[in-house]
Structures are given as structure tokens and as C-alpha cells.
Amino acid sequence: MSLRAATRVTRSLSGLLPRWGHGQAPPLLFSQQRNNSTSPKIRVEFNPTSGVAVMHMQSPPVNSLSLDFLTEFCIGLEKLEMDKGCRGLIITSSQPKVFSAGLDILEMYGKSPERCGEFWKAVQEMWLKLYGSDMITIAAINGSSPAGGCLMALTCDYRIMADQPRYTIGLNETLLGIVAPFWFKDTMANTVGHRTTEMALQLGLLYDPSEALNVGLVDQLVPEDQILSAATQTMTKWLAIPDHARQITKSMMRKPTIDRLTSNREADIQNFVNFITKDSIQKSLRAYLEILKKKKT
Ligand SMILES: CC/C=C\C/C=C\C/C=C\CCC/C=C/C(=O)SCCNC(=O)CCNC(=O)[C@H](O)C(C)(C)COP(=O)(O)OP(=O)(O)OC[C@H]1O[C@@H](n2cnc3c(N)ncnc32)[C@H](O)[C@@H]1OP(=O)(O)O
């Protein structure tokens, strides 16, 4: 781990998780109703000539992965997957400075077990569809991408990140007092290896772009204004490979990881619900939400 990454972790952790007395009422209220607009959270541009679609995530303020967002995302993905003319997908963000802030914390805070289960099923669905996609998938990461945002990028075949030192990417779940599930961990380990994953997950490391490139979490850095043209150029190279050979190879590499979740889906949902609804975990999430709010004051 670089010194810079270590310093960021220490700063993020300090005072993160305050302790409440038994039975003490939490002092702040959080709105449970953000992002409930009916405007599309995803905009898809498909070019039938090139066979490439670009998915723009446009859910203000930070493209957090709410149940609505995930549902729309999966429907969009399924439509493209079924269109035989669509061979490649680039995923990017229309929101300034953020690719995706990861799972919507408000979906995990103060929700019923049933609702948590429904939400988690949608998170699984997004991962299964994207990690198992027959299309060539490229993440054009034009902003910060913590936790579930990083997972989304990791499920793609190739990652290009904007070379902007303010942006960070990583599976930082432990900083929130929560645990990245086995399939988040597997996806990261398949990309950067066991040892790097072990350190990154325990410490909740968020890497800046050059650190992310160094550990292999992203494949390429480009100036932010060139991110879509770089993704298109890379896509052209990948499109030159015959689809069937590439798809079988991709499936061979990813199938064991996908099978592990597919055969444990219900248990994984139950694990998540039991874990996230624990009092102590709800308190950790609350503390984290407070920190996000305080950033502004
Ligand atoms: C025994 C157990 C075994 C196994 C475990 C079993 C199950 C597993 C259990 C749990 C697994 C859960 C896995 C979780 C994955 C996740 O993805 S959790 C989410 C993690 N995300 C983050 O930590 C990101 C937090 N956000 C940021 O760092 C920053 O917002 C940003 C860098 C993305 C952007 O910074 P800014 O541009 O400066 O924007 P602001 O910070 O001002 O934010 C604007 C606005 O958005 C709200 N917000 C930010 N992130 C989220 C989010 N993820 N969800 C909901 N809301 C978010 C933020 O509060 C601000 O709100 P307002 O103040 O404007 O109302």
C-alpha cells in the first residue's frame, strides 16, 4: 500500500464510528426519499452501425445504486443483450466527478427485512447480468467509484479511468463498518490477485487513478475529456476478435465465480438481510451517513 493510500484510510477512519448508549435515540433524521423522480436514471445510445451502445448513468447527485436505479439498469442491459446487433457496451457517468457512489446507503438504512432482501436481489441481478454478459463491456470511469461503483466497473472486461488525482476507486466497505460479500471479493481477486485484494478489502482502500493502475484495478488512464474516445478505440480492438471465441473464453474464465453465487443466491440474500438489519450495523451506517452530511457544513 502506498503512503498516500494509507494516509487516506487513516483520515477516513478517524472518528468514523461513534458509539451510542444502549437505547439512545439517534439524533438525526435522513431523508429516505431521494432519487424518487420518474426521469430515466440511465440513458442508452446505441449505434447500429458500430454495434456499440453507450450507457450513461444519470441519477443525481451521485449515481447511487438504488432499487429503482438497479431495476432500470438491468432492463436496459437485458434489452441490449437480446439485440444481436449489439456487440459492445461502454458504461459511463453523466454526473460530474462521480462514476457511481456505490450502493445507495439509504436502501440499507432503516428498511424492513423484506425490502432489504428485494434490494439485495437487484444488486445480485446487476452483477450476474454484467459479469456474465456476452457483450464486450468497458467501464469509462469518469469520476470516483467506491464500493458498489467499483464492483460495477470490475464486472466489465476493461476499465479506463480519468487521470484526475481527486477521483478514487476501491472496495471501501469496511470503512462503513460493513463487509464486502464473497462475490465482490471474488470479482476483485479475479482482477488484481489474492494478496492485493486481501489488503484492499481489510483496509477499505480507495486508490487514486495512478495507484489503481499500478495494482491493475484499472487498465488505462486518460485525460478526462478523452475518456469516451479512448473507450471507443479500445472497443474497436476488441470487436476485431470473433464473438463466439471471445465469449466462450470469457465464460470459461468467469463461470466458476458466477456459479458460486448462482448456487447460493437465497443464502446470500438471507446473509445480507441478517447482517444489514443488525442494530450495530445500522448504527455504523448512520454514523457514515452523518459524516457524508457533515462534509458540507
Ligand atoms: C458475517 C457477514 C458476512 C458477510 C456479509 C454479508 C452481507 C454483506 C453486507 C453488506 C454488503 C454491502 C455492500 C455495500 C456496498 C456499497 O456500495 S456501500 C456504499 C459505499 N459508498 C460510499 O462509501 C461512497 C460515499 N460517498 C462518497 O464518498 C462521496 O459522496 C462521493 C465521493 C461519491 C462524491 O463526493 P461529492 O461529489 O463530494 O458528493 P457528496 O459527498 O457531497 O454527496 C452528494 C450527496 O450524495 C449522498 N451520497 C453519497 N454517496 C451516497 C451513497 N452511496 N448512498 C446514498 N447517498 C449518497 C450524500 O449524502 C450527499 O447527499 P445530500 O447531502 O446532498 O443529501
pLDDT tens sequence across 158-191: 999 999 999 999 999 999 999 999 999 999 999 9
Share of the chain above pLDDT 70, in %: 87
**pTM metric for this prediction:** 0.91
- Half-sphere exposure (Cβ direction) of 132: Cα atoms closer than 13 Å: 17
The three-state secondary structure class of 223 is coil
Mean pLDDT of the chain: 90
Asked about 172 being catalytic, the answer comes back as yes
Residue 23 lies in a domain: no
Provide the CATH number for the domain around residue 59. 3.90.226.10
Asked about 148 being catalytic, the answer comes back as yes
Closest ligand 1 atom number to CA of residue 106: 55
Domain containing 278 equals 37-294
Residue 31 lies in a domain: no
CB of 172 within 6 A of ligand 1: the answer is yes
CB of 151 within 6 A of ligand 1: the answer is no
From the candidates 117, 143, 172, 261, give the one annotated as an active-site residue.
Answer: 172
- Answer whether residue 37 shows pLDDT above 70: no
Residue 27 lies in a domain: no
Atom 48 (ligand 1) nearest CA: 62
Identify the pLDDT of residue 38: 63
216 C-alpha to ligand 1 centroid (Å): 23
Residue 90 lies in a domain: yes
CB of 96 within 6 A of ligand 1: the answer is no
Identify the pLDDT of residue 295: 78
What is the arithmetic mean of pLDDT over 210-222? 98
Residue 15 lies in a domain: no
Atom 38 (ligand 1) nearest CA: 295
From the candidates 67, 77, 103, 151, give the one annotated as an active-site residue.
Answer: 103
Atom 59 (ligand 1) nearest CA: 292
172 and 204 Cβ atoms separated by less than 8 Å:
yes
CB of 104 within 6 A of ligand 1: the answer is yes
- Answer whether residue 267 shows pLDDT above 90: yes
Provide the number of structural domains found in the chain. 1
What is the arithmetic mean of pLDDT over 56-66? 98
- Answer whether residue 197 shows pLDDT above 60: yes
- DSSP labels, 169-215: EE--GGGGT----HHHHHHHHHHH-HHHHHHHHHHT--B-HHHHHHH
Identify the pLDDT of residue 72: 97
Identify the pLDDT of residue 297: 66
From the candidates 65, 173, 206, 261, give the one annotated as an active-site residue.
Answer: 173
Which residue carries 446470500 as its cell? 268
Identify the pLDDT of residue 294: 87
Identify the pLDDT of residue 11: 38
Residue type, 289: L
Helix (H) / strand (E) element for 140: namely strand 136-141
